[in-house]
Structure 1
Amino acid sequence: MTDTQTRTSGTAAKPVRPKGLYKAFAASLTGTALEWYDFAVYSAAAAIVFPLIFFPDTDPLTGTILAFSTYAVGYISRPIGGIIFGRLGDRIGRKKVLVSTLMIIGIATVLIGVLPGYASIGVAAPLILVLLRFAQGVGVGGEWGGAVLLSSEYGDPKRRGFWASAAQVGPPAGNLMANGALAILTLALSEEQFISFGWRIAFLFSALLVAFGLWIRLHLEDTPIFKAIEARGEQPNAPIKEIFRHELRPLVAATLSRVGPDVLYALFTVFTLTYGIQVLGYERNQVLTAVLVGSAFQLFMIPLAGAVSDRFNRRLVYAVAAGLGVCWTFIFFVLLGGDNQLMLMAGIVLGLMCHSFMYGPQAAFVVEQFSPRLRSTGSSLAYTFAGVIGGAIAPLMFTLLLSKFGGWIPVACYVAVAGAVTLVGLALGRDPHPTEDDEFHTALGTA
């Protein structure tokens, strides 16, 4: 039996066509990577450029806090995208939602790339920036649930950890492209040229990436599971209401499980830019290179972690990684001192490896908490709610804690609390139930 096959009780199911499976995997990975390229470019620019371009009348640390506040807007707006597009994913299908979300975030990112700075249009510049960041968040909020279902519902539910990890590879891939683009621009341009126009090139480049992503998604059919639900006429009329009435515990479990990974990722990919440059005195290129290498490792570690969670208990793999992530945060700050590029790089790589073994199994764990009819809504709500309480405020809180206490210990303690929240979510969750998918494959006539 191949990995593209499903089973029903006592009956071997017809294998899903490999062409459709691999195309779904590619569409999930590339589309999410392209959207996270846009999102990650903003994240890096918020730490490096935006305090100078959009908040120039403040001191450097205050400017960074304001820039991270606009960064948080992209997370706060995610629930809107999750509510709108998650519901639509259960009502009209996964594919149509994914095309819409890609267009929203692509257009918003290009507009940021041509937005005049504070010196040109005054206070209107940061206000428009906030609105465009809001739109980015809406797009990403609607993207994740559909992208995860796209790959996981094509694949064998017994290997959902691996197939669902396609969407999870998107953020590090996007982060890799974004930081790579910024690193190349900082090497090719002078400081003045980069601040003046160089950073805009990275934003404008996303237009080509989004066009490529749309081309892939428009040539893809919807998932076999949604087709079966549609054929049976079982699309939920009020999926959000059903989630809160019948699947509230799964929603809480999935939401809490995501908090720790979001906070850890913000620490090692966003806050380290500020801490490394402003506090430890590293050059911008040194920190960007370290994040770049860490993201490159994640491209392989995330699918590996998903596959490991298929072989062993998914919740256990997730929980061990959460504990290791918290422990490594304290070690990282103890070791990170002085101008030691190798130590900086090793610290970020190992931190992101801990994140990978949470993030790889995460998509499958979240999807498995909900019944197939409500997966898009439930997964999207969990993803976006967790983003607000986890990733949205993490860089801002890190910066505020550093500013108030002048040291890293409160920052590390914040990560520890987030890790504990994740463990609570995992304890509340359930293990996989592959037979739920088998029923819908049978209904579609694939058995």
Structure 2
Amino acid sequence: MSTSEELAGNISPATRREERKVLAGTLVGTTIEWYDFFIYAQAAGLVLASLYFAPLSQESSGLAQIVAWASLGISFLFRPLGAIVAGHLGDRLGRKMMLVFTLVLMGAATALIGVLPTYAQIGIWAPILLVFLRILQGFSAGGEWGGAALMSVEHAPVNKRGFFGAYPQIGVPCGMILATGVMWLLSTMLTEEAFMSWGWRVPFLFSIVLILVGYFIRRSVDESPVFKEMQDRKKESAAPLGQLFKHNWKEVIQTALIFIANNAAGYLLIAFFASYATKPVEDGGLGMDRPSVLLATTLAAFGWLIFTMYGGILSDKIGRIRTFQIGYVWVLLWQIPMFMLIDTASIVLMGIAMFVLTIGLGLSYGPQSALYAEMFPAHVRYSGVSIGYAIGAILGGAFAPLIAEVLLGATGSTISIGIYIMVLCVISLAAVTSVKETKGKNLRVEVAHQEYLQQHPEARDSQ
């Protein structure tokens, strides 16, 4: 589809069918991937400390929980490796192949966690194997997002990139809704003993069904038109990674810093709030009912979905940068009031606190696919967006629940956690403000422009 066709609105029925397939493929695939990822996050806050880190749990439940959060965060350290491998191959072999590969790898690791024996059954091998499978999840997630983001944005009409790019983004709250909803259902239907014995494994095993659905949907999606164009020209870079770090290192840093506040605040919503609220009062929690808290978290995830989609649409109107700025200012200003409401231990006020947070989370997440895709030239785009995203996740969400747990233990107040997120918001706000508005960039013209700069390096130096 040419740029003139996009702007004129002359889009054939076949093109529209392909667009719908792309949107379905990116949404369903990312939803399944993040369901797998979030199931672990939920389990880390609810059951893994006592089942897989039993000796530490006997010494101190707080220490065991910190180690469980660390097992959640350690996988983020392997996201850049997954981003490098999938990004490099995605820039050379295509976006579609990597999307299918990362989906299957994530699903296999998740299903194996569902049958993994506990510490009581196999001793030290239990936490070792758990961490290994978690590393595979991190490797897969590192390559997943970049491919899904580019498939959606590179298929999009110029004036709808924010809208198209929001589809892989809403896969995150959709995955959270699915993961938290399943946990809520099991917590409601089963006794505490049954849930701790075998019920928590069901969501991990359910991933097998979801992976089969996602696999067949993603297999049916055509390759990105921008990548096809690069193949037709037969001039893709022989060393995309080398080109990326030589010419686009600044954009990698910017994308990483832009993401850290959203990712950190998002992982508090995904994992920490439920753990803190349901933990007994004597252990530093609020002692709230688990099913009620999981239901409130699920409802908040619907808000995240709505405002993420709205953030993508809004960025097509007022620009990516302005939308990000509004979102981060919202998250920053809401931190202290949010924790004051949560600390009332009222499920209604906690639900309101989390839902209002999702307004800012959505506005600072919805435009991300479009912004990142427009920041990089096509021949290093998969590598650039994947590596920047992965590094941002390490600096942001990887250890956010762990840091929140440590801050709470050290200060005895959740306000310290709010201040921590506020500092990250300032950093991300400064990073996104340093980027020149990208809305409306012609991604395909940019391919030719990049090739020209490769042939005429003096032109690059003069820019």
- TM range, normalised to the smaller chain? over 0.9
Q: State the alpha-carbon separation in 1 of the partners of residues 326 and 344 from structure 2.
A: 31
The 8 Å contact of residues 277 and 283 in structure 1, kept in 2 or not, is answered as: yes
Equivalent position of 1:403 in the other structure: 409
Deviation of 1:368 (Å)? 1.3
| 3-state DSSP of counterpart to 1:335 | helix
Write the deviation string for residues 183-218 of structure 1: whole angstroms up to 9, x where unpaired.
111111100000000000110000000000000011
- Aligned CA RMSD, in angstroms, stands at 1.9
Shift of 1:335: 2.2
- The answer to whether residue 65 in structure 2 is matched with residue 43 in structure 1 is no
Whole-angstrom distance in 2 between the partners of 1:413 and 1:54: 32
- Tell me the equivalent position of 2:112: 111
Contact 1:55 1:126 in 2 (8 A): yes
**What are the ranges of 5 or more consecutive residues in structure 1 without an aligned counterpart?**
none
The answer on whether the counterparts of 1:8 and 1:439 sit within 8 Å (CA) in structure 2 is no
Aligned to 2:217: 216
Quote how far apart the aligned CAs of 1:12 are. 5.4
C-alpha contact (below 8 Å) 2:5/2:11 kept by paired residues:
no
- State whether residues 307 and 358 of structure 2, in contact with CA within 8 Å, keep that contact through their aligned partners in structure 1: no
2:355 maps to 1:357: no
2:348 counterpart SS class? helix
Once residues 435 and 23 of structure 1 are traced to their aligned partners in structure 2, the CA distance between those partners, rounded to angstroms, is 24
* Further displaced range: 16-25 or 96-105: 16-25
Quick one: which of 333, 336, 355 aligns to 2:342? Answer: 336
Please, what TM-score do these two structures have when normalized by structure 1?
Answer: 0.95
Structure 1 pair 251–103 and aligned structure 2 pair: CA distance change class (3 A)? same
- In structure 2, what is the equivalent of residue 52 of structure 1? 50
Per-residue deviation, residues 267-290 of structure 1 (Å, max 9, x unmatched):
222110122122111111122111
Q: CA deviation at 1:380?
A: 0.3
Write out aligned runs for 1:366-385 (5 A).
Answer: 366-385=372-391
The one-letter code sitting in structure 1 at the alignment partner of 2:224 is T
CA distance in 2, matches of 1:367, 1:217: 20
Q: Which residue of structure 2 lines up, in the alignment, with residue 186 of structure 1? A: 187
| Structure 2: segments with no counterpart, 5+ residues | 280-284, 450-463
Greater alpha carbon shift after TM alignment, 337-346 vs 200-209: 337-346
| 2:240 alignment counterpart | 239
User: Where does 1:250-399 land on structure 2 (aligned, <5 Å)?
Assistant: 250-278=251-279, 279-399=285-405
Distance 1:441 1:166 in 2: 24
Question: How far did 1:411 drift?
Answer: 0.7
Query: Cα deviations across residues 54-104 of structure 1 (Å, max 9, x unaligned)?
Result: 012222211110110110022111111100001111100000000000011
Q: Percent identity?
A: 32
Q: Which has the higher contact order (CA 8 A, sep 6+)?
A: 1
- Are 1:7 and 2:13 matched, yes or no? no
Cα deviation for residue 14 of structure 1 reads: 6.1
Q: How does 1:36-115 map to 2 (within 5 A)?
A: 36-57=34-55, 58=57, 59-115=60-116
Q: Is the Cα–Cα contact under 8 Å of residues 316 and 439 in structure 2 kept in the other structure?
A: no
My pick for the range that moved more, 193-202 or 231-240, is 231-240
Task: Assess, with a 3 A threshold, how the Cα gap between structure 1 residues 409 and 441 changes in structure 2: closer, same or farther.
Answer: closer
Q: How does 1:159-170 map to 2 (within 5 A)?
A: 159-170=160-171
Q: Distance in 1 between matches of 2:447 and 2:74?
A: 40
Q: Give the Cα separation in 1 of the matches to 2:9 and 2:192.
A: 60
CA distance in 2, matches of 1:46, 1:435: 42
Code of the aligned partner of 1:235 = E
Post-superposition shift, 1:13? 8.6
Offset of residue 299 of structure 1: 2.3
Letter in 1 for 2:51: I
| Residues 148 and 164 in structure 1, CA contact (< 8 A), matched pair in contact too | yes
Q: Does 1:427 align with 2:433?
A: yes
> What's the secondary structure of 1:235's corresponding residue?
coil
Give the Cα–Cα distance (whole angstroms) in 2 for the partners of residues 337 and 130 of structure 1: 32
Distance in 1, Cα, partners of 2:342 & 2:220 = 47
- Report how many aligned residue pairs link the two structures: 439
Deviates more, 1:96-105 or 1:295-304: 295-304
Distance 1:435-1:271 versus aligned 2 partners, 3 A rule? closer
Separation in 2 of the partners of 1:14 and 1:79?
Answer: 40
Shift in CA distance, 165/31, structure 1 to aligned 2, threshold 3 Å:
same
Classify 1:435/1:338 alpha carbon distance in 2 versus 1 (closer, same or farther; 3 Å). closer
Alignment-mate amino acid for residue 35 of structure 2? Y
Contact between 1:109 and 1:206, CA under 8 Å: does it hold in 2? yes
Other structure's SS at 1:7 match: helix
Q: Which residue identity is paired with 2:176?
A: N
**How far apart are residue 424 of structure 1 and its match?**
2.1
1:318-377 CA-to-partner distances (Å, cap 9, x unmatched) read 012101101111111122233311101111111122101101011211111111221101
Quote the offset at 1:302 in angstroms: 1.2
Q: CA deviation at 1:442?
A: 9.9
Distance 1:123 1:435 in 2: 53
Q: Which residue of 2 aligns with 1:30?
A: 28
Asked if 2 retains the 8 angstrom alpha-carbon contact of 1:82 and 1:384, the reply is yes
